[in-house]
Amino acid sequence: TRVRVYVALLYPRMLSRVLFVSSLYFHIGETEKKCFIEEIPDETMIIGNYRTQLYDKQREEYLPATQGLGMFVEVKDPDDKVILSRQYGSEGRFTFTSHTPGEHQICLHSNSSKFSLFAGGMLRVHLDIQVGEHANNYAEIAAKDKLSELQLRVRQLVEQVDQIQKEQNYQRYREERFRQTSESTNQRVLWWSIVQTLILVAIGIWQMRHLKSFFEAKKLV
């Protein structure tokens, strides 16, 4: 029926509008690159949502950015390998799952090549990054697995405990790295002290011998 057609047409548009409601925003310059760091354990999903607004001088307010103005999103894993490098439109959603534990770097910059596009102003970027359990959409999970209220609550608890366990695991790995760094520092300090003492003594001996032979040659001693 006609209603179904209207709903079918409206639904995707409404979905894209209400997909992202976070209100934390910041300003970014034309060629500026803003980087965010997420230190996460492995097999953790991250969902990032952003929305851009451009300052309209005539209306003196921020309006949704024009088409063609997009953001370039680049995600690097702890080994500095690029795991996501894509351009999105003025509104976008990026997802990735970490395969190595550690610091992942998420960088955003606008793809604008026309320097006058920003009209001297800044681009307003609304950003929201959801990590691990927060990235779960419980309404969707409840609908898909047909869970009752209690089951959904327990499911949420299970996801939370899962995240805690992964973080604890990662903590153990980090502590190991920390211990290795401290032991390496300890070793280095020890070795260099010994080597420097030896160098000092050796140089002292060489100096004295050299000068002694020099003065003897000059017949001063």
Partner 1 sequence: KIRLSSTSFRVLLQVLWAQLLCGWVLGSELTFELPDNAKQCFYEDVIVGTKCTLEFQVVTGGHYDVDCRLEDPDGTTLYKEMKKQYDSFTFTAAKNGTFKFCFSNEFSTFTHKTVYFDFQVGDDPPLFPNENRVTALTQCESACVSIHEALKSVIDYQTHFRLREAQGRSRAEDLNTRVAFWSIGEAIILLVVSISQVVLLRSFFSDRKTTTTRVGS
Q: Which of residues 35-94 bind partner 1 (CB under 8 A)?
A: 35-39, 49
Contact pick of 20, 72, 88, 96 for partner 1 (by CB under 8 A): 20
Complex with partner 1: residue 16 or 68, whichever CB lies closer: 16
Q: Which residues 6+ apart lie within 8 Å of 166 measured at CB?
A: 41, 42, 43, 44, 132
Complex with partner 1: residue 119 or 143, whichever CB lies closer: 143
Complex with partner 1: residue 11 or 68, whichever CB lies closer: 11
- Cα 72 to chain centroid distance, Å, stands at 14
Interface map 93-132 toward partner 1 (x if CB under 8 A): ----------------------------------xxxx--
Interface map 160-199 toward partner 1 (x if CB under 8 A): xx-xx--xx--x--xx-xx--xx-xx--xx--x--xx--x
Please report where in the chains the tokens 């003492």 appear, as a residue. Answer: 197
Phi, psi of 77 (to 5 degrees): -85, 175
Size of site (CB under 8 A) for partner 1: 71
Q: How far is the CB of 206 from partner 1 (least distance, A)?
A: 8
Phi, psi of 219 (to 5 degrees): 60, 35
What radius of gyration do the chain's Cα atoms show?
Answer: 30
Q: CA–CA distance from 191 to each of 181, 198, 202 (Å)?
A: 15, 11, 16
Q: How far is the CB of 3 from partner 1 (least distance, A)?
A: 5
Complex with partner 1: residue 18 or 114, whichever CB lies closer: 18
Complex with partner 1: residue 16 or 66, whichever CB lies closer: 16
Task: Please state, as a whole number, how many other Cβ atoms lie within 10 Å of the Cβ of residue 61.
Answer: 9
**DSSP letters along 135-187, please?**
G--HHHHHHHHT--HHHHHHHHHHHHHHHHHHHHHHHHHHHHHHHHHHHHHHH
Q: How far is the CB of 175 from partner 1 (least distance, A)?
A: 7
Q: How far is the CB of 114 from partner 1 (least distance, A)?
A: 25
Q: How far is the CB of 89 from partner 1 (least distance, A)?
A: 17
Complex with partner 1: residue 68 or 211, whichever CB lies closer: 211
Instruction: Quote the CA–CA distance of 40 and 104 in Å, as a whole number.
Output: 7
